[in-house]
Amino acid sequence: MDAMNTEDISTTQNEEIWQNAILVGLQTDQKDDVFERMMEELEQLAEACHIYTIAVFTQRAQNPVHATYIGSGKVAEVAHAVKELEAAYVIFDQTLSPMQFRNLNKELGVEVMDRTGLILRIFAEQARTREARLQVEHAQLQYIMPRLAGMWTHLGRQAGSSGSMSNRGIGETQLELDRRHIERRMAELEKELKGIAKERTTQREKRLRSGIPRVSLVGYTNAGKSTIMNRLLAINENPLDGKNVLEQDKLFATLDTTVRKIQPKGERPILLSDTVGFIDELPTSLVKAFRSTLEEVKYADLLIQVIDYSDSDYRACMKVTEETLREIGAAGIPMICVFNKADLVHDLPYEIPAVRNDSIYMSAGTGIGIRQLWELISKKLRENMQECQFHIPYTQGSILHRLQESAEVLSVDYQAEGIAVTARCGDEIKNRYQEFAVGVDAVI
C-alpha cells in the first residue's frame, strides 16, 4: 500500500467494480456464536466496499501470533488459496499491528486489509459533506501514521544506515518526509474541522433557542434509522422533495447528521435528527473524528434507539449502542426503544404494532406501527414538559409571540395589567422566561 495515497481511496473505488477477497478470522476467547457473528459482519463490511467473499479461513488460538497474527501453517494455507482462487484481497477480522501488516502483505502476495482499514474505506466512500470527508481523511492519516515505519524500514536497512543524519538510508529519509507531510496535513484538517464545528455549534444554539423539542435517532448501523426518519416525515405530510434521507441495505449508508423539522398539522413541531450508525469496536480514530457530528445526539431531549429485532443478536447491538452513547456523553437522555424489522421475525410475542411502556415493536419497512411511534414520541416529549403560567406586560408583547413559537400555549387571557398565559414547556423555555413566570410552577 502506498503511504501517500490516502486521499485517493474514495475516488479509486468505482461503484460498479466488484472485487473478491478471502476472509481470515482468529477465534481467541470469543464464544462460537459471537465469533460467527463477527465474521458475518466482516463479510457485510466487505460488501459495503464492493468486495465479495470467496473463502473464509478461521483458526483457534489463545493469542495471536506476534509476527503474523495467525500461525505459519495457516499463512501458507491462505497463500495457497490466494493463488488458487485469484483473490484480490485478504481481510483480517481484527486490527493488525504494523508488523503483522507488513509481514502478511509480503507472505500472501496480495493486498492485506484489516477490519479498521475496511471501515475507514467505507467511510471514505460514503462521506458526502465536506465535514465528513475531512473527518474521514483525518482518521485515515491517523491509521497510517504508526504503519509508516513498518513500510520503510526494509529500505533503511538496505541503504546501510549508520544512524547519523548525513548517512541515513533512503527509507528513513522518505519516512521522515512522509511523516512531516502527514503531520502537516493533519494539523490543517484539525484547523478546518474546528471551524466547521464552530459553525455547527452556532446552528445548534439557534435551534436550542427556538425551544422546539429535539429528537435523535440512534442505533447500530443498518437497523432502519433513516427509514424511520423518512416515514415520520411522510406521515406528517411534510413536503418530501429532496428531503428524504438515504435508506439502503448497506452498513454505514448514513455518515452525516441530518436534521429535519417535522411540522404536523395542529401539533407542535419537532426537530428530528438522523446520524451515523454505531458498530462494535468502532475504530477509536473514527469515534474521535466523528465526535462533533455525534455531538448533535448529546443535545437531544429524546433519543429513539432503533434496533434490528430480526437480528438474533440484537441484545449485543443494544449494548454497543448504549456504550457508545455513554462514550459521547449522551447517557441519561430519555429514550424510546424501537424494535424494528419485526416483519422478519417468526413467532413474535406480540402482534405488531405493539407498544410496551417506552418500547415499540414495529416495521418501518412496511410502515406498520409508524403512527403509534409518532404518538409515543409525542407522549414522551409531553412527559418532559410542565404546565407553566406567565404574566407578560403589554410593553413586552413580543414575548407572547415567542412563547407561541416555542411552547404549547394552552390559554391567553388579556387582563387589565398584562397578558396571562398558560403554556406547556420544557426547562429550557421555562428558564428563559423565568422573570415572567408566576404561580406554583414558577422557576425559583
Ligand X SMILES: Nc1nc2c(ncn2[C@@H]2O[C@H](COP(=O)(O)OP(=O)(O)OP(=O)(O)O)[C@@H](O)[C@H]2O)c(=O)[nH]1
What does the binding site for ligand X look like in residue numbers (CB under 6 A)?
221-227, 247-254, 277, 306, 340-341, 343-344, 363-365
Q: 341 φ, ψ to 5°?
A: 60, 30
Residues 243-282: x/- map of binding to Mg ion (CB under 5 A)? ----------xx----------------------------
- Name residues contacting Mg ion, limited to 214-243 (CB under 5 A): 225-226
Helices (H) and strands (E) in the chain, counts: 14, 15
> How many angstroms separate the CA atoms of 381 and 428, rounded?
13
Question: At closest approach, how far in Å is the CB of 276 from ligand X?
Answer: 7
- Give the residue with the Cβ less far from ligand X, 290 or 436: 290
Closer residue to ligand X (CB): 249 or 417: 249
Q: Which is nearer to ligand X, 41 or 178 (CB)?
A: 41
Residue 337 interaction partner, one of ligand X, Mg ion, none, beta carbon < 5-8 Å per kind: none
What residues form DSSP beta bridges with 220? 278
- Binders in 7-26 for Mg ion, by CB under 5 A: none
Q: Is residue 363 a contact partner of residue 369, using CB atoms and an 8 Å limit?
A: yes
Choosing among ligand X, Mg ion, none, which partner's interface includes residue 344 (Cβ < 5 to 8 Å by kind)?
ligand X
In the bound state with ligand X, the residue whose beta carbon lies nearer, of 142 and 222, is 222
- In a 13 Å sphere around the CA of 341, the CA atoms on its Cβ side amount to 15
Query: How buried is 330 (Cβ within 10 angstroms: 0-12 exposed, 13-18 middle, 19+ buried)?
Result: buried
**CA distances to 145, 166, 308, 351 from 345, in Å:** 45, 68, 10, 11
**Do 272 and 260 contact (CB within 8 A), yes or no?**
yes
**Could you identify the residue written with the cell 427556538?**
210
Q: Are 275 and 293 in contact (CB under 8 A)?
A: yes
Residue 224 interface partner, choices ligand X, Mg ion, none, CB cut-off 5-8 Å depending on type: ligand X
Helices 130-158, 98-108: crossing angle, 10 deg rounding: 70
Q: Do the Cβ atoms of 51 and 18 come closer than 8 Å?
A: yes
Q: Which residue lies nearer to ligand X by CB, 59 or 340? A: 340
Residue 340 interacting with Mg ion (CB under 5 A): no
CB of 274 to ligand X, least distance (A): 7
Our CB check for Mg ion shows the closer of 102 and 341 to be 341
Q: Which entry of Mg ion, ligand X, none binds 98, CB below 5 to 8 A by partner kind?
A: none
User: Which of ligand X, Mg ion, none interacts with 341 (beta carbon under 5 to 8 A by kind)?
Assistant: ligand X
Question: 219 forms bridges with which residues in the sheet?
Answer: 306
Tell me whether residue 225 or residue 380 sits nearer to Mg ion (CB atom): 225
CB closest to Mg ion, residue no:
254
Residue 91 near residue 126 (C-beta atoms within 8 A): no
DSSP 356: E
- We find the least distance from the C-beta atom of residue 293 to Mg ion, in angstroms, to be 13
- The residue type found at 321 is T
| Least distance CB 47 / ligand X (angstroms) | 12
Nearest approach in angstroms of CB 343 to Mg ion is 19
What is the closest distance, in whole angstroms, from the C-beta atom of residue 306 to ligand X in the complex?
Answer: 6
What, of ligand X, Mg ion, none, does residue 353 touch, CB below 5 to 8 Å by kind? none
**386 in helix, strand or coil?**
strand
Closest CB 214 distance from ligand X, rounded Å: 18
Closest by CA position to 392, among listed 422, 424, 436, 423 = 436
| Cross-strand pairs, 411 | 422
Say how far apart CA 263 and CA 146 lie, in whole Å: 49
Min separation Cβ 229 and ligand X, Å? 8
Question: Whole-number minimum distance, CB 321 to Mg ion, in Å?
Answer: 14
CB of 392 to Mg ion, least distance (A): 43
Q: Are strands 359-361 and 354-356 parallel, antiparallel or unpaired?
A: antiparallel
Nearer to ligand X, 26 or 286 (CB): 286
Nearer CB in complex with ligand X: 253/262: 253
| Cα distances (angstroms) measured from residue 184 to each of 178, 179, 180, 384, 440 | 10, 8, 6, 47, 59
User: Using an 8 Å Cβ cutoff, are 425 and 408 in contact?
Assistant: yes
Beta carbon nearer to ligand X, 343 or 428: 343
- The site for Mg ion (CB under 5 A) is made up of 225-226, 253-254
